Each structure stands twice: as structure tokens, then as C-alpha cells.
């Protein structure tokens, strides 16, 4: 086994931030599209939907961030089911000392299409080890200023509807009292890099107990939007039933609470994106 580190999914929200932070010498980044800030020397093209060729078979670490992007179209077509196939390919092809897997807090949501697949991936990794140590992370609501492809999470849908589509009014699914806590991807990446040096198996929830309601997120966006575009927008919500997708401390799973300023994270994000 050599000391090479492989990163799968380097062009996504976590992967793009990860590129700037990891300092290991022998590292290769894999994705279908090369991130602009990544040198050709460190990047390798891969399409996990096809046969894997020309890849190390014994390495020290694998960081697996690859997942179909969170888009409504992907959800409708069940494209997230592909992730389990990708993991099986990697597991059968490569033996590693550490396997670090990016799961999701959606595993706690009932019948969630992403959460269901993530649970299957976790179960497969636990029951089919081809590594010495397995480290699983379930993050809640990560925000990165590096992402170039907007997901269909609420904070990005605001940008899509009012900035990209040019709407002046829109009715959103969900409730104004839905609740979210936002965490910095940069801080998250620093932690998983440090923790990956521990010779331990673990599973962590990762999130922020300092939460915001959706109506407050909308106000932050609206204030910045109004100042930039000098025009008024209106929005409403269809549901009166609140969905609280936040870090819970009463679970059996260990957790890390970032206690970050959700408002500050979103303001910085919108100032850069709008």
C-alpha cells in the first residue's frame, strides 16, 4: 500500500473548497470536469458511470465526495441511485487504509430520495470493508463561496428565481417557519482533513444549532437584492407546517456543533453571488 490520497468528486461544493486546504504531497483529484483552480498535474478525468481504468489499486486514503448534484431534475429521475453503484466500483477496484465518506443529514428524513441512497451507501461500506478505517460524515446545510453550480436548496432557489429568471414574485413550497442552521464548508473541510489522520472508525453528524427560519433567510436575501437591483420583490409560502432540518443533540450518533453565525454566512454568500 502506498501513501497516495485520492479525492473523488472534486468539482462539487465540498470538493472545490477541499482543493485549497489539503496539503498532502501525493494526491490525485478525480472528476468529470476539471476545476479551474486545479492544476492538470493533480487532476484525473473519471466517469464513474463507465468502467474505471488507469487508477491506483492500493492507496492510503480515499475521500469520496462524488454524488449527483442536488437538483430537482436529478431527484425526479432517481439519478442519486447511481452513487451506490459508484461506491461499489471504487470498493472493488481500490484497497485503502482510510475511506472517508461524505453522507448527508437527509438520512434522518423519512423517504427522502437522497437520504435513502446515502443510507444504502453507508450500509454497504460498513458491511463490505476494503479498508482499515471508515469515517462517515453527515453534514447539515453547508455553504461554500466556491461553488459554481447552484443546487436546488432554498437559499439558492432565491437566487435562481429572482436573479437568474428575473421574477418579481414567487410562491415557494414549504413554510416560512422551516428552520435551517448553516455551516461553512471551509471550516468543515479543515476538520475532516484533520480527523482523517486519526486511526479510528467513526460516524459524525455535523451542523449548526444557531438556526434561522426560512422567512429570515428570505429577508436577508431581499435586503441585499433590493440594494443591488433597486427593485422590489414579493414572495409567499404554500405550507403552514414547519420543517425543522437542524442538528439534533438527542441522537445516539456523535455530533459536532459549529455554533457559527448562520446570518453572517448567508450574508457573505449572497453578497458574492447576487
Q: Measured between alpha carbons, how far is 178 from 187 in angstroms, rounded to an integer?
A: 25
Q: Measured in Å, how far apart are the chain's first and last C-alpha atoms?
A: 47
User: How far apart, in whole angstroms, are the C-alpha atoms of residue 206 and residue 188?
Assistant: 8
d(CA 102, CA 118): 9
Contact predicate 62/18, CB 8 Å = no
Which grid cell is 33?
Answer: 470536469
**Better-scored residue on pLDDT, 75 or 18:** 18
User: What pLDDT is attached to residue 68?
Assistant: 78
Containing domain of residue 19, as a range? 5-273
**Segment 188-214 mean pLDDT:** 96
Which residues pair with residue 75 across a beta bridge? none
95 touches 133 (CB < 8 A): no
pTM, whole model, 2 decimals? 0.92
* Residues 236, 234: Cα–Cα separation, whole Å: 7
| Interval 70-129: pLDDT, tens | 666 765 667 678 999 999 999 999 999 999 999 999 999 888 888 899 999 999 999 988
- The angle formed by the CA atoms of residues 98, 151 and 69, to the nearest 5 degrees, is 45
pLDDT at 250 over 70: no
Q: Look at the chain and report how many structural domains it folds into.
A: 1
What is the tens place of the pLDDT at every residue in 116-159? 999 999 999 999 888 999 999 999 999 988 776 788 889 999 99
Distance of CA 38 to the CA centre of its chain: 19
Q: Give the number of other Cβ atoms within 10 Å of residue 144's Cβ.
A: 19
**What DSSP state is assigned to residue 161?**
I
Q: Which three cell numbers stand for residue 170?
A: 414567487
- Among candidate residues 171, 179, 173, 175, the one with its CA nearest the CA of residue 241: 175
Q: Tell me the sheet residues that pair with 183.
A: 142
**pLDDT above 80: residue 167:** yes
Q: Among 261, 84, 118, which residue's Cα sits nearest to residue 184? A: 261
pLDDT of residue 174: 87
CATH number of the domain that residue 211 is part of: 3.40.50.720
Q: How many CA atoms lie within 13 A of 267 on its CB side?
A: 11
The b/e string for 176-206 (b: 16+ C-beta within 10 A; e otherwise) is bbbbbbbbbbbebbeebbeebeeeeeebbbb
Integer Cα distance of 260 and 266 in angstroms? 11
Neighbours of 116 (CB within 10 A): 17
For residue 188, the 8-state DSSP code is H
The dihedral formed by the CA atoms of 254, 255, 256 and 259, expressed in degrees to the nearest 10: -150
CA angle 101, 105, 107 (to 5 degrees): 90
244 band by pLDDT with thresholds 50, 70 and 90: confident
Amino acid at each position: 500500500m502506498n501513501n497516495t490520497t485520492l479525492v473523488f468528486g472534486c468539482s462539487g461544493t465540498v470538493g472545490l473548497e477541499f482543493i485549497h486546504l489539503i496539503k498532502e504531497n501525493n494526491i490525485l483529484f478525480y472528476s468529470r470536469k476539471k476545476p479551474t483552480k486545479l492544476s492538470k498535474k493533480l487532476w484525473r478525468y473519471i466517469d464513474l458511470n463507465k468502467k474505471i481504468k488507469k487508477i491506483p489499486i492500493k492507496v492510503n486514503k480515499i475521500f469520496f465526495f462524488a454524488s449527483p448534484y442536488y437538483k430537482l431534475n436529478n431527484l425526479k429521475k432517481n439519478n442519486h441511485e447511481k452513487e451506490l453503484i459508484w461506491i461499489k466500483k471504487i470498493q472493488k477496484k481500490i484497497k485503502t487504509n482510510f475511506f472517508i465518506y461524505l453522507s448527508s443529514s437527509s438520512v434522518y428524513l423519512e423517504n427522502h430520495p437522497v437520504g435513502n441512497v446515502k443510507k444504502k451507501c453507508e450500509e454497504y461500506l460498513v458491511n463490505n470493508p476494503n479498508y482499515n478505517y471508515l469515517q462517515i460524515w453527515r453534514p447539515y446545510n453547508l455553504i461554500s463561496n466556491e461553488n459554481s453550480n447552484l443546487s436546488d436548496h432554498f437559499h439558492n432557489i432565491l437566487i435562481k428565481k429572482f436573479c437568474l429568471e428575473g421574477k418579481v414574485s414567487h410562491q415557494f413550497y414549504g413554510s416560512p417557519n422551516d428552520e435551517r442552521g448553516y455551516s461553512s464548508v471551509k471550516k468543515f473541510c479543515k476538520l475532516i482533513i484533520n480527523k482523517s489522520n486519526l486511526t479510528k472508525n467513526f460516524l459524525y453528524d455535523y451542523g449548526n444549532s444557531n438556526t434561522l427560519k426560512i422567512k429570515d433567510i428570505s429577508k436577508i436575501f431581499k435586503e441585499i437584492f433590493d440594494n443591488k437591483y433597486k427593485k422590489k420583490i414579493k414572495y409567499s409560502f404554500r405550507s403552514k407546517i414547519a420543517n425543522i432540518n437542524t442538528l439534533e443533540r438527542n441522537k445516539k450518533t456523535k455530533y459536532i456543533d459549529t455554533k457559527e453565525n448562520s446570518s453572517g454566512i448567508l450574508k457573505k454568500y449572497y453578497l458574492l453571488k447576487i
